[in-house]
Amino acid sequence: MRTNLYQFVILFLLALGLPPTVAAAEALKLVVLGDSLSAGYQLAPGEGFPSQLQKALSEKGYAIEVVNAGVSGDTSSGGLGRLDWSVGPDVDAVIVELGANDMLRGIAPELTRENLTEIVSRLRERGVAVLVAGMLAQRNLGDEYAEAFDPIYADVAAAHDALLYPFFLEGVALNPELNLPDGMHPTGEGVSVIVQNMLPKVEELLKRAGSS
């Protein structure tokens, strides 16, 4: 349990618009619950999303531990199944990055919606701050599929007081210079773009976690 003094310091710094620093407070714990896109598929150590996010936040003065809970090939069903042991009781915030494999496998969007709803609602019931990282359906799956899949993330975030980053691969998708030869997974440089684009929203997430 964090002390009252710790909570006071965090709230004081946030009131001043400053991030909680290593010198000022115990580190917050942020888990990235995701699939290969965030796990660092085929990337060297330190190039994956959690590692680069940790570095970017530390450079901005945040006392933060970013945990990689990404599993390559995982679906929203897999993420739900391992939720309790992937996100322990000491976690302050979670980025949920799941659903891309659901889409690629043509899984019914209704099931993806149910799984993400369950994941986010259970985390919020525990008092964990949540950022939902969205995904968009490939257009070759047809308009009907895209119309059912694309709104899932915004709807789930809005229903459960979670933050939303609409598209995890914003600025990277379809750019061959920022993706591996498979055209789907970001390179280390591509991950850097994702981190910089998401950073303001992640900072908002940490402010929520620090004030909870």
185 catalytically annotated: yes
From 36, 51, 76, 86, active-site residue: 36
From 76, 150, 185, 192, active-site residue: 185
Phi and psi based region of residue 87 (left: phi greater than 0; alpha: psi -120 to 50; beta: remaining): beta
| 135 in Cβ contact with 100 (< 8 Å) | yes
Give the torsion sign (CA, 135, 72, 198, 194): negative
160 catalytically annotated: no
Alpha-carbon span 36 to 81, nearest angstrom: 17
Distances (CA, A) of 195 to 46, 83, 112: 13, 23, 25
Residues 6+ apart with CB under 8 A from 99: 75, 76, 112, 116, 135, 149, 152, 153
Q: What angle do CA 58, 35, 21 make, to 5 degrees?
A: 15
Helix (H) or strand (E) holding 161: none
36 catalytically annotated: yes
Which residues are tagged catalytic? 36, 182, 185
